[in-house]
Structure formats: structure tokens, C-alpha cells
Amino acid sequence: MSVILSLALEVRGTKKNIDEFWSRLNTKNDPFIEQHFPGLDLNGSPSPHHPSNGFNVIKSEGDEVVIISWDGGFGGFSEGYMGSTFRDSGVAISEMFPELEFTLYYDGSGAEFAGDYGVETYSIDGKKISKTVFSGGARFRAGVRIGEKALDAEDYFISNADAQDDNDFWESDVPDFVNNRNKIDAAIQNGDLRLSTAFYRNEWEKSAIKDDASYLFIREFWKEVPLINTQKIYVDAVVARSAFAQSEHSIMFIPEQFVTNEMRLALSNKIYYCDISP
């Protein structure tokens, strides 16, 4: 089955910062095309084997919001079939424009789709569990995911009372288009993170630790710690909280005024030994 993945990227900030983003994205003020994203060195060159059907770009009248939307198969913007999506590139691009806020919304139009957009993976009592999700959103600022939400079948669909077969949700249920965006926005605003984000970061950090007695990290590890590439002037309480939730090692890059008692308590019994030699 051919799956359509709809994406909308909302970029918010002051007119000055939006204009800087726009000029770097579209240096010649050409019609917007997929090649402009690789121009920011995010995902390399688009694959000719997975063409998109074009982007729709809207700038607000006050020039404080840019909305880039796209409906199509998988291409350079989603790369879901390769396991690397804008869920990951959003960290890099928000490091490049730390004064802007990037929010990505995605929806499988009621169907399953490939990549980490469409799967939520987590662990219960050491057992790895995966479930299908159909829609979601992620917000990035200053190099940090500051909120995420993915909707599984229970959240995404509402019961269709006219359906003949209530045992098959593909037939009996329909997407809750009226409320789904509100569910995503509420979770993002609350600073929630996807279960899969916490799961994979935990797995990745464990694989990067080389010494059971202390924390010995290879150089590649430090490239991935939230805030490692963020100037402190762009860190506020929201960014600090989300960065720490994704990696306790972010504590070293959080300004003192945003370090909470809960963060200190979480680290009270831990000793870090940092070796970032090649």
C-alpha cells in the first residue's frame, strides 16, 4: 500500500530572525524546492528515486511565521524509510538558528508509515515494546527537543458508529481530525517527550559508556549531548528542563540559575569522569 505522509514545519520567531532563516534557506528568492534543505547541510542530496511532489510555503503577514508543508511519499524531507527523519535533523537546524522555534507536525492520513515517525518503542520491566502511531509532532529550540507527542490508535481514531465491523479499527474507526492537533499541541506545550526518545537515548548512552566504574565517553558521545553546541545565552528554563530530561550530562551546559534542586538530586550519587580524546 502506498502511504502518504503529510508534514508541516512551522518556524516561529521575530521578523529579523525569520528573515535570516529565509535568506539562508532561499538565497536567490527562488520558488521553494526540496534542494533548499540540503543547502543547510542537514540531509545531503535528495534521492532521485524518492521524489516529492513539491512544498507549499506560507509566510505570515507579519513575517514572524513560516509554514512549510508537504504531502507525498518519502523523500529528502522525511527520509523515514532510512530511519533518519526531521525528528533528528530538527536538533541540528535549531542549533543553527537558536532564536527560532521549529515545530514539525506529521500525519499518516490514517495509515501506517515507515521510519521512526510511525513507531513508538519503549521498555517495561526490561522488555522492549513497539506500537504503531499514526500522527505526531515535535518542537525544537536551541538544539533541544522541547516537546513531542505521538498518537497511537487509541488517541488517533474515534469510533465510527455506522461501521459494520467493530473488530477492525481500519474500517470501524476514523481519524479524530478535530482534536488530534490539540492533543499534540497540549503535550508539546507541557514539555512531554515521546517514549521512544527516552528509550533510544538511554540505549545509546549505555552503549557509549566504556567503563562500569566511571563515565568514560568517546568523542562521538559529546556531539550528541543536548546543549553541547548551544551558547548559554539561548538556554532558558524550558530548554534546560528538556535537555536534562534527555541526558543528565546536559547539566554541564545549563546556566546555574536554571539548575533545579531536582536536577541536583538526580546527580547526587553519580560521578562523571569525562575523557573526550579520540
- Distance, CA of 111 to CA of 53 (rounded, Å): 19
Q: Find cell 539561548 and name the residue.
A: 234
pLDDT digits (tens, 9 = 90+) for 198-242: 888 888 777 777 665 566 666 667 777 899 999 999 999 999 999
C-alpha to C-alpha distances, 36 to 31, 44, 250, 275, nearest whole angstrom: 10, 10, 31, 37
Nearest to 7 by CA among 136, 95, 132, 111: 136
- Predicted TM-score (pTM) of the model is 0.80
Looking at the chain, the whole-number percentage of residues with pLDDT higher than 70 is: 65
Question: Which has more confidence, 252 or 7?
Answer: 252
Mean pLDDT value across residues 170-179: 74
Looking at the chain, the whole-number percentage of residues with pLDDT higher than 90 is: 30
Report domain extents, the chain. 5-194, 209-267
Neighbours of 143 (CB within 10 A): 25
Q: Find cell 530548554 and name the residue.
A: 239
The three grid cell numbers given for residue 173, joined into one nine-digit string: 474507526
| pLDDT recorded at residue 37 | 47
Question: Which has more confidence, 222 or 3?
Answer: 222
